[in-house]
Homo-oligomer: A and B are copies of this chain.
Amino acid sequence: MRRTANPFPDHNLVDAAIAWVDAAVHSLDTEDVPLRTARGRVLTRDILAGHPIPSSDRAALDGFAVLANASLGASGYNPVQLPLIALVAGDALPAETDAVVPLELAEPDSQGWIEMVEAVAAGDNVEHQGAIATTGATLVPAGTRVAARHIGLLTSAGLTEVPVVRRPRVRVLVAKPKAGIWEDSNGPMTRAAVERDGGVVGECVVVERDLMAIRGALVEAGVDIVLVIGGTGPGIDDHSAAALAEAGELAVHGVALRPGETAGLGRTVSGVPVVLLPGAPAACLWSYELFAGRTIRRLGGRGPELPYRSREMITARKIVSAIGMTEICPVRCGAGDIVEPVPSFAEIGLMAAVGADGFVIVPEGSEGHPQGGRVTVYLYEGS
């Protein structure tokens, strides 16, 4: 196999395509959802305390409520008897008490008294009203992605619903090749990636690889983004870009991304973003990751960056990349900070992503990295 000339000599730089997404795509509107189902959603407003937390002085641990002054002078030589008022952590302090004696520091009897051999101070083991938050204080700020700890705090603060960014509804169109035995693997792969990014694939529709069919399928309403898979190239059977140009605006077509050269970006007449993903699986995956995924994450209010953790590592062998192209280079982790390149997407397609621990993105202006060079590695989960 050999490398061929780029079919788009005047292709767009990856950064320009990303800038188009960032300028064109904004967070969707808000919806209220039950707090207990809100995990992973992004808050659209600061959530404020509607009352002080705690709402009254309360026991910080299990024990006995006392009036601290009454324990003054208590010692082993001079035990003090006080009324037995048992509390568990979180119970409101009864009137006429201002401290909690831990279970193990007082001896209850069966007559309704406790015996103390040590004085306590007012406020000991008490959480004061408003100590955690006063009325109107921000409990969780807008933009937070809700996790278990937020659900716990906000439930205890009395909330049952929270305002979150609506989930992006995604329409996936797969342009079916004209001939040959064909089984779509891009649709299921893309659906899984959309779900990871917080979108919902309402429909995954196979359309004929035909200008009219694709254009017709592009004008459907009720979705927040359309992904068109296949038919993005310059061939005689490639109509996705032309269909988008007719159905709205083709803003970007051809990107200096390998794999992913024939990706495109635009929007329908009604302004719904459209991402054109090449039909070759590795190119579909990477144009999804850089452009479609970013669009969906932005629509859903998440951070736009790639959803992989990154780490500085050292290359065991040189990483070669074509100058003028942003190249995704799969790598495997070795001992310590060492990382080494593995067969490329051009060589083995998606198998390169499956056999790798992560990837390095080599930008347009670089021919790669020398052996021993420092590189930023994006790591797949579990690597």
Contact pick for A237, options B35, B88, B238, CB 8 Å = B88
Across the interface, name the chain B residue whose C-beta is closest to A156. B185
Q: Which residues of B contact A178 (CB under 8 A)?
A: 88
Across the interface, name the chain B residue whose C-beta is closest to A6. B104
Interface segment among A11-19, A248-256, A331-339, A343-351: the answer is A343-351
Q: Which residues of B contact A380 (CB under 8 A)?
A: 147
Q: Is the CB of B354 within 8 A of A180?
A: no
Q: Is the CB of A382 within 8 A of B303?
A: yes
Q: Which residues of B contact A39 (CB under 8 A)?
A: 192, 195-196
Cα–Cα distance between A382 and B150 once the two chains are bound (Å): 14
Q: Is the CB of A235 within 8 A of B188?
A: no
- Residues A348 and B62 in contact in the complex (CB < 8 Å), given A4-B105, A285-B152: no
Q: Is the CB of B104 within 8 A of A280?
A: no
Contact pick for A144, options B5, B61, B152, B382, CB 8 Å = B382
A74 at the interface (CB under 8 A from B): no
A363 at the interface (CB under 8 A from B): no
Cα–Cα distance between A102 and B1 once the two chains are bound (Å): 11
Cα–Cα distance between A180 and B238 once the two chains are bound (Å): 69
Q: Is the CB of A235 within 8 A of B103?
A: yes
A36 at the interface (CB under 8 A from B): yes
A7 at the interface (CB under 8 A from B): yes
- Residues A152 and B196 in contact in the complex (CB < 8 Å), given A103-B235, A125-B4, A382-B145: no
A213 at the interface (CB under 8 A from B): no
Give the one of A105, A148, A233, A303 with max B CB within 10 A.
A148
Q: Mark A213-235, 1 if CB is under 8 A from B, else 0.
A: 00000000000000000000111
Q: Which residues of B contact A238 (CB under 8 A)?
A: 62
User: Distance (Å) between the CB of A308 and the closest chain B CB?
Assistant: 10
Cα–Cα distance between A39 and B351 once the two chains are bound (Å): 17
In the A-B complex, the 4 residue pairs with the smallest Cβ-Cβ separation, listed nearest first, are: A152-B189, A155-B185, A156-B185, A148-B193
Interface residues of A (CB under 8 A from B): 1-2, 4-5, 7, 35-36, 39, 53, 60-62, 86, 88-92, 102-105, 121, 123-127, 131-133, 139-140, 144-145, 147-153, 155-156, 158, 177-180, 183-186, 188-193, 195-196, 233-238, 279-281, 284-285, 288, 303, 309, 347-351, 353-354, 380-382
